[in-house]
Amino acid sequence: MTADQHEDYSVVPDGHSSRGRLERILRRGEFAITAELNPPDSADPNEVYERGGVFDGWVDGINATDGSGANCHMSSVGICALLTRVGYAPIMQISCRDRNRIAIQGDVLGAAAMGVSNILCLTGDGVQAGDQPGAKPVFDFDCMSLLETIRTMRDEGRFLSGRKITDPPRVFLGAAINPFAPPYDFRPLRLKKKIEAGAQFVQSQYCYDIPMLREYMKRVCDMGLHEKCYILIGVGPLASAKTARWIRSNVPGVHIPDNIISRLEGAENQKQEGKRLCIDLMQEIRDIEGVSGIHVMAYRQEEFVADIVHASGVLKDRRPWKRELNPGDAAAIEFAEREAEKLAAADT
């Protein structure tokens, strides 16, 4: 039995902002692992349970993306509602692109009422990046004003209008960072601004350049920012050298050095080498001063996350824990029973 199983998740501990497990892990000084769920193009809850199930026992929080890349999928708040039913700790992403301040503040209250404890604030990609470029962008907020708004709702118990909130949302606030995009000298200052706006944890873009990360973290630590915010560094397995080249050329802010591509090109099995590379990166990142955890983004390779986390050893003897199912959720229970049957069959 882990330490988590002795905790009462019905209360907010002293000095905490939420009831959530992710915040408790980080405040205890333990190394945290989060991962990103690939949202379904479906209304079937089982697709969410199955996609979340591959992370079970290996991550402390699951990101539910909000129209990532300006493409439509099941909503972040819908995915979070389903994940909370089965005891996971979702991180609800909110993009400022699609909703105005009235809708966003309502979504924050609704999510908190359903048990969502973590919110990641994003400005969001422009609509031209997605498959419906004729959509009308909103951008009533940017990430800074969104952080400030949710912090106001939580800490002052009021909407932006000044109207009182009777029971404020108890949430742990996060934001995104990108240490690997120019101007590099500005990146620690940008983090400082996000912390001042309310960010308590941050997740970074993919890291494939450890020397660049070390330089960034040195500046962050010199400024004392690692003591004010928990920093989780993004990693992900690369399927091939061709994939790496495409990402480097087409995904803004992702820096993949030539030596990484050469390593993949020289491998007999490039997909397996991509996994090995991800494991190596995690082990190096784990020992960098100021880093509090790792955010694994394994797009269309989510089934590898458990193996990668296990092989990296970054959790040491700690394994994240999943709460029991909500007895009222028939679909979740049916899914769990199917998984138990698979395990039993494998043992025979």
Structure tokens at 47: 């697709």
Distance CA 22, CA 3 (A): 13
Is there a domain that residue 75 lies in?
yes
Is there a domain that residue 10 lies in?
no
**Residue ranges making up the domain that contains 315:** 17-347
The type of residue at 155 is: D
pLDDT tens digits, 257-273: 999 999 999 999 999 99
Is there a domain that residue 116 lies in?
yes
H-type alpha helices, 114-171: 143-156
pLDDT tens digits, 93-117: 999 999 999 999 999 999 999 999 9
Is there a domain that residue 224 lies in?
yes
CB atoms within 10 A of CB 316: 9
**Lowest mean pLDDT: which of 47-51, 68-72, 164-168?**
68-72
pLDDT tens digits, 82-92: 999 988 999 99
Q: Supply the CATH number for residue 121's domain.
A: 3.20.20.220
Is there a domain that residue 22 lies in?
yes
- The string over 257-268, giving b where at least 16 C-beta atoms fall within 10 Å of a residue's C-beta and e elsewhere, is eeebbebbeebe
Distance CA 85, CA 326 (A): 6
| Under 8 Å between Cβ of 166 and 194 | no
Is there a domain that residue 5 lies in?
no
The share of the chain scoring above pLDDT 70, in percent, equals 90
Distance CA 312, CA 286 (A): 10
State whether the Cα torsion 64-68-70-74 is positive or negative. negative
Judged against a pLDDT cut of 50, whether residue 1 lies above it is answered with no
Judged against a pLDDT cut of 90, whether residue 58 lies above it is answered with yes
Q: Which residues pair with 63 in a beta bridge?
A: 36, 91
Q: Which residues pair with 231 in a beta bridge?
A: 202, 291
Residue-level pLDDT at 129: 85
Which helix (H) or strand (E) covers residue 216, if one does?
helix 210-222
pLDDT tens digits, 191-242: 999 999 999 999 999 999 999 999 999 999 999 999 999 999 999 999 999 9
| Under 8 Å between Cβ of 203 and 177 | yes
Block residue for tokens 């050469």: 262
Please give the torsion angle defined by the CA atoms of residues 20, 221, 248 and 261, in that order, rounded to the nearest 10 degrees: -100
The chain-wide mean pLDDT, for the chain, equals 91
Q: Structurally, how many domains does the chain consist of? A: 1
pLDDT tens digits, 123-179: 998 888 889 999 999 999 999 999 999 999 999 999 999 999 999 999 999 999 999
Is there a domain that residue 243 lies in?
yes
Is there a domain that residue 4 lies in?
no
Distance CA 112, CA 175 (A): 18
For 215, the 3-state DSSP assignment is: helix
Reduced to 3 DSSP states, what percent helix, strand and coil does the chain have, rounded to the nearest 5?
Answer: 45, 15, 40
